[in-house]
Structure 1
Amino acid sequence: MKILFIGGTGNISSSVSRLCIQKGYELYLLNRGQNKVKIEGAKHIKFDINDIGSMKELLKGHNWDSVVNWIAFDPKDVERDIELFEGKTKQYIFISSASAYQKPPVNQIITESTPLRNPYWDYSRNKIACEDLLNNAYRDKNFPAVIIRPSHTYSNVIPVPIGGWTEYTIVDRIKKGLPIIVHGDGSSLWTLTHSDDFAVAFTGLIGNLKSIGHAFHITSDEALSWDQIHYYIADAVGTEANIIHIPSDFIVKCEPSLEGSLLGDKTWTAIFDNSKIKSFVPYYRAVIPFQEGIKRTLKWFEEKPERMVVKKETNDMIDRIIGEYLKIGIRD
C-alpha cells in the first residue's frame, strides 16, 4: 500500500509509522522537518502543506491508498485537505480527539455514539468542527473520510495534567519528595493507552475501505484512578508520591490555563467501549499496562539529560496552587 502521513513523527504517530514500515507499506512522511525523529525506511518530504499551489504540483504524480493527517487542528486544515486529496486517495483518516465526547459525560462508558460536546476547550470544539466538515464531505460527495479519536495516548510524554507531558517536572518533584497535585479526590477513573498498542489497531484500519464513513476510538481497556496513575509513576522511580488532592474547580480558578485539560477532559471518569474497533480489527488487544509503559517512557526521558526538562514556572504554579489551597484551611 502507498500511504501518506501528514506529520508522522510525533508522540502517537511515530509508533504507527514504524509499524507501517515493518508491515512493508510504502510510507511517505510530509512535514516541515522540524521534528528530529527519523523513521527509517520512510520517504521524507520536507514541505509546507499550506502552500496549496505548490502542494498540488507536488501531488500531481501521486495517488494514495490512504492519507492520514496527524496534525489537523482547525477546520481550515480539513478544508485544505479535502481540496488537495479529493480524487487522489481511497481513504482519508483524520485524527480527532476523545476529548470531543460530551463533557460532563452523562454515561461514564463511552462509545462512538456518545454525543460530541465540549463547552470547556477550544481544542475539542475545533476537532468537532473538523469532524462535521468531513461527515458532510462524505455524505455530499463521497469523500472517503475516517475519523479516529485517540484518548491520552503516550510513549515519549508523561501523561499527567499538571507537571508532565513534555516536561519532567512532575517526576523531579516526586523524586525530591515534594508535594504534587492530583485533581479531585484521585478516585475518578481514566484510560491511558501506549502508542505501540494504538499502532496495532490503527494500522489495521489503514486501507480498510469498510471503515470509510465511520468514527472510532482506540484505547486500552485498563481503567486506573488518578491516584494509581501517580503511584505508578512514583513506583517507577523507586519512591512514593506525596499527593495533595485539590478540586478541579479550585485548580482552574487559580490557573485558568488548565480549564481545557481538566474541566474539558481529565476531571471526568472516562472508560471506553472498544467493541467497534475490535470488530474491524479483530486481533487488536492493548497489551502494555501503564505500570510497564510508564517505565519505558521514563527510560526514554532519562536516556538524554536534555529531555529531562524541569520548568521553574511549572514548579511555581504548583506551589502557588497548593499554597492557596492550604491557606483557606482545606485539608485532605
Structure 2
Amino acid sequence: MHVLVLGGTGLISTAITRQLHDAGHDVTVCNRGESEADIPESVSHVRADRFGDDFPRRVSGVDADAVIDMLCFSDHDANLAVDAFAGEVEQYVMTSSVDVYRRPVDASPVAESAPRRPPTSDYGANKVAAEDAVRAAHDRGAFAATILRPWTTYGPHGNGNLCHTFGVDTTYLARLRDGAPVVVHGDGTGLWGPCHRRDVARAFVGAVGNRTAYGETYNITAEAVPTWERYYRVLADAVDAPDPEFVHVPTDVLRDAAPDRTDFLADHGRYSTTFDTTAARRDLGFDQTIPLERGVREVVEYLRARDRIDRGDDGWIDGLIAEWRDGTAGVRSGE
C-alpha cells in the first residue's frame, strides 16, 4: 500500500516510517521539513503545515491508500483530515492517547470501552473531541477509521522521553548518574509503563490495510508495568549510577510546593493504572518485545553519544528536598 504518514519524523513516527518501508509499503511523510530524522532515502516527502487551513490542498496530490496521522490533537485537526481524505483514502489511522480515559479509574486493566469523560487532562479532552470527529467520519463512510491509544513511549530520539516526577527531560538521568537524590512522588509503589517506540510502531504497521482493525480502537501500551521506584532503579543502572537515594514526598505536597513544576504529575504521573492490550495483541500483532532495561540502555547510549544528559537548572529540586527534610526531621527521627 501507499501510506501517507502525517509527521513521520518524530519519536514514534520515525520508527513507523522505517517499519512501513521494511514491510514493503510505499511511504510518504508530510511535515514542515524541519527535522533531520534518519529515514530511508526512498521515502517521499510533502511539506505542509498539518494545522493550517490549506492543509487539504497541500496533500491533495498524494495518491495514498492509507493515512497514519500522528498530529491529530483536536476536533479542528480531525476535521481538516476529514476534509483532506474523505473519499480519497481507504483507511485513516488516528493517533490518540490513554489520556482520553477518566482517571482515577474504576478498575485496571483499562479496556477500550472504559469511560472517557471527564478525560484526564485538557490534552485528553481535545483527543476525545478528535476521536469523536473521526468516528463520525467513519460512520458516514468517509473512510475506514482505526484509532490507536498509546501511553508513555520512549526511544532513541530527542531527549529520549524518559519521564520522571517533574516532567520529561534528562534531569533525573543526570542526577542519578551523579549520585544526587531524586524526589519520588508518594511511596514509589505507583505504576508507570513506558513502552519502546519500536514496539508501539509495530502496532501501527499492523493496523495498515488490516480490515479487522477498520472501525476499531486499540490500547497500545506497556504490558510489563514497573513501580516508579523500580523504574528509577532501571534508569540508575543504565547510567552506571550508585544505589539511588530516593526522597519520598506526598503528591499533594509536591503539587502545593511546586505548582509550576508538576503539570506532568497532575495529569499523568500520579495515576497508577494499567491498560488492557488484548485486542491489539489479537488483531495487530502488538507485543512488548523490548524489556525496559534494554530499551533504557539504548536510549542512554544515544544520549551519551550526543552529550545530551544534562541536569539543567535543577537547584530548585535540591531546595525542595532540603525544605522537606527540614520540615519532617522530627517525624523521620521518631520524635
The two structures have a TM-score, normalised by structure 1, of 0.91
Q: What does 1:1-332 align with in structure 2 at a 5 Å threshold?
A: 1-40=1-40, 41-53=42-54, 55-118=55-118, 121-156=121-156, 157-162=160-165, 165=168, 167-239=169-241, 240-258=243-261, 260-281=263-284, 283-305=285-307, 307-312=308-313, 315-329=314-328
CA distance in 2, matches of 1:140, 1:259: 42
SS of match in other structure, 1:272: coil
* 1:183-222 Cα shifts (integer Å, max 9, x gaps): 1111112221111111222211111133122111112310
Q: One-letter code of the match for 1:128?
A: V
Assess if the C-alpha contact under 8 Å between 1:119 and 1:264 holds in 2.
no
Q: One-letter code of the match for 2:134?
A: L
* 1:40-67 Cα shifts (integer Å, max 9, x gaps): 13112222234444x4444344332211
Q: One-letter code of the match for 1:253?
A: D
CA distance in 2, matches of 1:130, 1:8: 20
User: Greater CA deviation, 56-65 or 206-215?
Assistant: 56-65
* 1:249-280 Cα shifts (integer Å, max 9, x gaps): 22122222455422322212222221101121
SS of match in other structure, 1:216: strand
Unaligned runs of 5+ residues in structure 2 are none
CA 1:117–1:57 in 2, change beyond 3 Å: closer, same or farther?
Answer: closer
* 1:85-128 Cα shifts (integer Å, max 9, x gaps): 11111111111111221211111211111111356521111111
Assess if the C-alpha contact under 8 Å between 2:190 and 2:270 holds in 1.
yes
Unaligned runs of 5+ residues in structure 1 are none
CA distance in 2, matches of 1:271, 1:118: 18
Deviation for aligned residue 1:323: 3.5
Assess if the C-alpha contact under 8 Å between 1:144 and 1:213 holds in 2.
yes
Assess if the C-alpha contact under 8 Å between 1:20 and 1:27 holds in 2.
yes
CA distance in 2, matches of 1:254, 1:246: 11
Q: One-letter code of the match for 1:49?
A: R
Assess if the C-alpha contact under 8 Å between 2:185 and 2:250 holds in 1.
yes
CA distance in 2, matches of 1:110, 1:193: 16
Q: One-letter code of the match for 2:203?
A: A
SS of match in other structure, 2:11: coil
The two structures, once aligned, show a CA RMSD in angstroms of: 2.0
CA distance in 1, matches of 2:69, 2:145: 11
SS of match in other structure, 2:324: helix
The two structures have a TM-score, normalised by structure 2, of 0.90
Q: One-letter code of the match for 1:106?
A: D
**Aligned pairs, how many?**
326
Identity among equivalent pairs (%): 28
SS of match in other structure, 1:44: strand
